[in-house]
Amino acid sequence: MRIAVIGGSGHVGTFLIPRLVRAGHDVVVLTRGQSKPYLEDPAWDVVERVVVDRAEAEAAGTFGGLVAALDADAVVDMVCFTVGSALALVDSLRGRTGHLVHCGSIWMHGLSQRVPILEEDSLPPVGEYGVRKALIAKALQQETAAGGLITTSIHPGHISGPGWAPIGPLGNLDPEVWRILAAGLELSMPGLGTELMSHVHADDVAQLFELALANREAAAGHAFHATAATALTVRGFAAAAASWFGQEPRLRSVSWESFRSITPAEFADQSWQHLSRNHHVSIEKARRLLGYQPQHAPEDAARTGVDWMLANGLL
């Protein structure tokens, strides 16, 4: 197939593009040309590149036509964040392209009530990002159900891998958390430490995108979760992370009010956004319909990011 990938040099694209090339596909990557894949791979040498600023092209009304003119059998959209942007692309691809695969987020779900969460569960999303991703997923399903463009949406959890910092045991990006655990010091955690996080290695997300592209009829009109098979509690994640440094975790439960008083506002808000959702999602649908088999446990996925940070002097 000829496959166009919008935003193909990011977390997932770093692994997806080489997968598609090795599978024998003709791959076109559309990027702003400002970033490189996180890992080098000779597969990139045969990839066609199109440099375009999506925001500028959409404002000019030319982006959808540019993508459609590539005559791709399938389009993967990794960087769509509004329903208007999604539907504009759909309008341009309808009748021109056989399959649109969109990257969403498990934040399409709101606060958990029963776990694991299914793709069809009705949990009103919270926050602008979650609301937007839920609207896009619904609009794409309606497009396919109405006999229009065949679409699929894939919803990753907390994507981890070499090249960027993973969401840490407190549900934030505070590097101090890793230093505390590495030194065997006491770590203050908000709540009881039983809140859940759904990490996933970027290559496992790429695997699911590849499977959706290879099984268009089975994937048509569906939303799929892309996470590891299990989720991590705050306590469990902290214990695993401490062990990487030969330490036992020393955890102290504090109220959210106390946590906010001792944590920079940016990181305290990140913790609330992740831990209040308390997400553990099911991947059974992706397993059953597409044969998805994640290869990385959530703690192993996170560790690849930490090892990269250590190797690059960021911790």
Tens-digit pLDDT profile for residues 51-75: 999 999 999 999 999 999 999 999 9
Return d(Cα 244, Cα 181) in angstroms, integer. 9
Length of the chain (residues): 315
3-state secondary structure of 280: coil
Element (H, E) at 28: strand 26-31
**Residue pair 77/86 in contact by the 8 Å Cβ criterion:** yes
Q: What are phi and psi of 52, to 5 degrees?
A: -155, 140
161: left (phi over 0), alpha (psi -120 to 50) or beta: left
| CA atoms of 303 and 201, how far apart (whole Å) | 10
Closest CA to 301 of 34, 4, 11: 11
Mean of all residue pLDDT scores within the chain: 96
Average pLDDT over residues 116-123: 95
Would you state the pLDDT for residue 36? 85
Q: How large is the average pLDDT for residues 105-127?
A: 95
Asked whether the predicted pLDDT for residue 234 surpasses 90, the reply is yes
Contact 78, 12 (CB under 8 A): yes
Summarize pLDDT for 237-262 with one digit per residue, the tens. 999 999 999 999 999 999 999 999 99
Cα R_g (the chain), whole angstroms = 20
Q: CA 9, 11, 17, 20: dihedral to nearest 10 degrees?
A: -160
DSSP 30: E
pLDDT, mean of residues 181-208:
97
- Nearest one of 198, 276, 205, 201 to 231, comparing CA atoms: 198
Which residue in 158, 187, 263, 203 sits closest to 38, CA to CA? 203
Q: Which CB contacts under 8 angstroms, 24+ apart, belong to 21-24?
A: 21/46, 21/47, 23/210, 23/214
**Contact yes or no for 199/157 (Cβ under 8 A):** yes
Looking at this protein, which amino acid is placed at residue 168? Answer: G
* Neighbouring-strand partners of residue 281: 117
Residue that has been written with the tokens 């695997």 in this structure: 207
Parallel/antiparallel/unpaired status of strands 232-233 and 196-197: antiparallel
Tokens 């197939």 correspond to what residue? Answer: 1
Contact 223, 119 (CB under 8 A): yes
On the question of pLDDT at 34 being above 80, the answer is no
**Which helix H or strand E contains 155, and what residues bound it?**
strand 151-156
Q: Are residues 96 and 72 in contact, defined by beta-carbon separation less than 8 angstroms?
A: no
Task: Judge whether 73 and 98 are in contact, CB under 8 Å.
Answer: yes
Q: Which pLDDT tens digit goes with each residue over 127-161? A: 999 999 999 999 999 999 999 999 999 999 999 99
DSSP at 89: H
Contact 210, 19 (CB under 8 A): yes
pLDDT at 166 over 90: yes
**What percent of the chain is modeled with pLDDT above 70?**
100
Contact 149, 75 (CB under 8 A): no
Q: Is the pLDDT of residue 35 over 90?
A: no
Task: Confirm if 234 and 271 have CB atoms less than 8 A apart.
Answer: no
